[in-house]
Structure formats: structure tokens, C-alpha cells
Amino acid sequence: MDINTKKIIKNAYRVTKKRGVTALRIRVPGGRLDVGCLDVIKNIAETFGDGTVHITTRQGFEVPGIPMAKIPQVNEAVAPLLAGMESAIGVEIADLNHGYPAAGTRNVSACIGNSVCTFASYNTTDLARKIERLIYPNDFHVKIAVTGCPNDCIKAHMQDIGVIGMVLPVYDATRCIGCEACVKNCLKVSSGALNMSNYKVKRDHQRCLGCGECVLKCPTSAWTRGEKYYRLVIMGRTGKRNPRLARTFARWISEEAVLKITANMYGFIEKHIDRSLPKEHVGYIVDRAGLPVFREEALQGVGLGPLGRVEDYIPFGGYENR
């Protein structure tokens, strides 16, 4: 069988260890899926695959055991999922019967968010879908994840772009009884940004992570949740060469700024990527072009707002395999 492997990979199929057999990667932006979609996935797995489904590390599904000769039929079977991406998320897909149009940019993953979790400061699925609508389809090898709070349950620090929810805590001194519950909790589980002064709480904005732990621990509601903000961490990566955690690029920025920086990053990749490689992590491109170049291009047209701050220097670590 004459198979164009580059074409099927772009079509969201995997080249497997078994000749002539592939696996379909199914996107689930934001990690949330209408249960009716599970019937479609089940049908594909039973009709064309080996009857099993693998849940990927990026919150998608992978259906193994599909004969490559069956790819056209599978693409038609997956059309309802693509239609759902168009209607629910607003992603534009030219031909629903030809399967996924790209697979380079990985599924945008998200933690459960504030629809369920008491720690989360925003609707993570909603933001993940906005990012998906902004970037998909695209062939660049980019991994993006959004998490509701600095607990980082989605492992945003292992992504090319990680979006971490922050909340600006609002303090009402008239309700404070000086119990120090917030101060002690911030010291134990967060950044130690609070201290007592004249029997009232003082907050160090530079040290504050915007985690909201003070709000959760206050027995008198002296602390409440104010405006939502975001921390953007960049250039996390695994892989063979110099894996490393992402580091903070910007903090206390708006959702609009997050989306604009993300869009600008794709322009940066387009301009500086090494096209001799089949794929290249964004971190390697930044290493080569330099952080000042990335900063300048990523921040074009971005409004940081009164609290927004961008790092002048990022001490990227990682380790070299020698």
C-alpha cells in the first residue's frame, strides 16, 4: 500500500509500529465533551478500530487498530465531532467529511475550572475553547494548557504556553477580626504575601500569587474575590534535549492580553522556525532567536493594563543530556 505518512499525520492519524495500521487522535478542547460524542467515538472504535480507546495525556482520545485503508470511512464517521467543534466552539473546518485538517498544534487542555472547583478563579473550558478557536487548525507543534489557579493541576508549567488563573483579593478591614487565619494559611500553602500590622492584614502585591487562599480561609468574609487576572508561563517542554519547566513571562494580565500574546506567538513561530526540521518546540525557537526578540514580537498590540507586568529576564533552567 502506498501511504503518504506526512498527509495522514496532518490528518490526525498516528504512524504506529504495526505496518498498515494507524490510530486516530480526537480533539477535546478544554477537556469537556458532550456525552453524545462518546457514541461517535465508540462507533469508530468498534467499527474500524480494535474496540478500545486510549485517553491521552492531553485530554483527547486515541482510537487504535484502524487499518490505513479505512481512513476515508473513518473521516466520514468523525464528521459529527468536527461539526460539534464548529457549532460549540466556532472553529472553522472547510470540509467536515475529510477529518481533522491539522494535528501539529495539540489539543488545548484544561483543568475542571470554577464550574466545579472552589480554588479555580475562572471558567477554564471557556478560555480553552477561545484559544482553540484562535489557533486551530494549525500545523505548528505547540502545546497549550489552561489551569484555574496556581495549584496548576493541568501541569501548565510543562507547556509551550501555560495560562494560570489569578484573582485579586479584596480586603475589607471593617470585617476583619484579626484571627490571622489568612496570614497563617498563606504562609503554609502559598507565598507568604500577608502579614499583620496594627491588628490588620497587609498584602504584598509583588509576592501575591492571586491564589485566593486568603478568601477561602477567612471566617468573616473580610477577603473576597475581586477581578480575574492571569499569569502566562512560557517555553516548558519535555523531550530528549534540555527538558525544562515553563517560567513566568507575564502576570496580572487580562484574558484579552492572553489571547493576543498567543496569537502573536504563532506569528513569531512563522517567522523564526527552522523549516528543515519536521517540527520544533517553541522553546528551541526562542533559545535561538533570543528572548528580547520574542518579547518584542509577542507583545505587539498587547495592552497589559494597570497591574500587568512582563518579566525582563527569564532564568530558563532545564538540564542537558551529556
pLDDT tens digits, one per residue of 144-185: 999 999 999 999 999 999 999 999 999 999 999 999 999 999
In the chain, domain spans: 5-98, 109-166+230-310, 167-228
Per-residue pLDDT, 322:
64
Per-residue pLDDT, 165:
98
The DSSP letter of residue 244 is: B
Per-residue pLDDT, 138:
93
pLDDT tens digits, one per residue of 62-110: 999 999 999 999 999 999 999 999 888 989 898 999 999 999 999 999 9
Rg (CA), the chain: 22
CATH code assigned to 167-228: 3.30.70.20
Residue type for 224, please? T
The DSSP letter of residue 35 is: T
Per-residue pLDDT, 316:
80
- Identify any residues that bridge with 109 across adjacent strands, giving them in sequence order: 145
C-alpha span between 29 and 38 (Å, rounded): 15
Residue 176 grid coordinates: 476583619
Per-residue pLDDT, 52:
98
| Per-residue pLDDT band at 8 (split at 50, 70, 90) | very high
Q: For the whole model, what pTM was predicted?
A: 0.94
CATH architecture of 109-166+230-310: 2-Layer Sandwich (3.30)
pLDDT tens digits, one per residue of 199-251: 999 999 999 999 999 999 999 999 999 999 999 999 998 888 888 999 999 99
C-alpha span between 124 and 126 (Å, rounded): 5
- Identify any residues that bridge with 166 across adjacent strands, giving them in sequence order: 229
- In what helix (H) or strand (E) does residue 253 lie, and over which residues does it extend? strand 247-253
Give the side-chain half-sphere CA count within 13 A for 87. Answer: 9
CATH code assigned to 5-98: 3.90.480.20
My answer on whether omega of the bond before 137 falls inside 30° of 0, hence cis, is: yes
Q: By the 8 A CB rule, do 156 and 245 touch?
A: no
Q: What angle is formed at CA 95 by the lines to CA 90 and CA 101, rounded to 5 degrees? A: 75
Res. 1: pLDDT tops 60: no
Task: Assign 111 to helix, strand or coil.
Answer: coil
Query: Crossing angle, helix 291-298 and helix 282-289, to 10 degrees?
Result: 110
Q: What angle is formed at CA 95 by the lines to CA 92 and CA 99, rounded to 5 degrees? A: 95
C-alpha span between 182 and 217 (Å, rounded): 6
Per-residue pLDDT, 241:
81
Q: By the 8 A CB rule, do 154 and 110 touch?
A: yes
7 CB neighbour count, 10 Å cutoff: 10
Helical ranges in the chain per DSSP H = 5-10, 36-47, 71-77, 79-84, 124-135, 181-189, 213-217, 255-272, 282-289, 291-298
Res. 315: pLDDT tops 90: no
Nearest to 240 by CA among 291, 276, 279: 279
C-alpha span between 258 and 128 (Å, rounded): 11
